[in-house]
Structure 1
Amino acid sequence: MSTMYGETSYKLAKEAKRTSDMLISTYNDDLVQSVCREIRMLNARAGASLREMRNSDNSPLNVPSQITQIMLHHLTIKRNKRILFAYHHQRLEKLKELSWSVGRQNQERKIKEALSKEENDFLERYGDLVSDYKSHFLDIDLGGNGGVGLDPPLDLFIEVRVLRDAGKINTEYGELNLTKGNQEFVRRSDVETLIKAGYLKHIA
């Protein structure tokens, strides 16, 4: 039994949905190439039908079956292209997300093995852009190296335990004396740097 038009692209759409929650799925080159081949085949058939109609003495209105077939080919091509775009767009957004990810370095090899050559090139170049961008904002936590990243804090004030003497710091609400063993209720923005440096521990 021959494969119905659009069946291969439907498989690709199902795969995209099934793998949407994964870190990154293996690029399905076989399915992508099959969809591309079907697009080229349908385009060639539609072109042949059009040439046949132009060379015929019959009016196009007298051959509705050919017009219907051309429209079917055209709509299937459009659907296949939309699925290809959606599949690659989903993967592109994943790669962008990975470029900002804190733990990406730990799975670098696994990620690279799952990507196509073009995706690996994109990840490397986009990653360079992200790194260059972050280098201009070293005083702001944009993610990586244990930082909290771009997610806004849930609580304005937090409770912390002092793990190492940090001395006195001045805040908008007064002076804090951070002596080892003490617990303090402080504004998160005042102590985030000390938490990352290991002087304080956030008590959940």
Structure 2
Amino acid sequence: MNKTNVLAVALLLASAVCATHAADKRYPVAYVKKIEITEPSIRSAWERKDFLDCDDVVLTEDDVLYALRHMRRVSEKSYYSEDTERTGCLGGARVFFKNGKAITIGIEPSGRINTFELNAKLEPAGRPETYYECEPCASRKMALLKDALNRADERRLKRLEAEGQIPPGQAEPRLKALRESREPNPSKN
């Protein structure tokens, strides 16, 4: 294979990778006029405090902009799949665009996102809800929530130790191992 073919294949692969995390063109970040955080932190029936306390998860304008840049559309079936990771935490916002369009967006720390368009009265416009995933959002938010995850692990392990489900004195070493597993390993990079 000559250099031209190798370059062409490399460019094709690079464009395919970029397309998998391309934002929805209906909601361009460049046209965002205003963001209103309507629900900075909501807990649902899916909340698992042993994993993450929703009080530690707060949606920001930066989170919304980041999501708009990186979310990719998925089917409703994929969004509600049993295999989909859920934290039980959610934040909500209204996004207003310069062209007059407005949406409500719900963002989970796991990168699950749902949107629906709003009419002039800020009510659902009658169009179906749209579902997204955002892997970069999940990585970013979970990195920001590392302390919250550590606190949840500590609560869970101490409870398990107190209940006798793990041997006495094992909560601290296990907690240390979990914290170390969340730290980037420079030798692997």
Per the normalisation by structure 2, the TM-score is 0.25
Per the normalisation by structure 1, the TM-score is 0.23
By relative contact order (CA 8 Å, sep 6+), the higher-ranking structure is: 2
The structure with the greater share of residues assigned to strand is 2
Question: Which has the greater radius of gyration?
Answer: 1
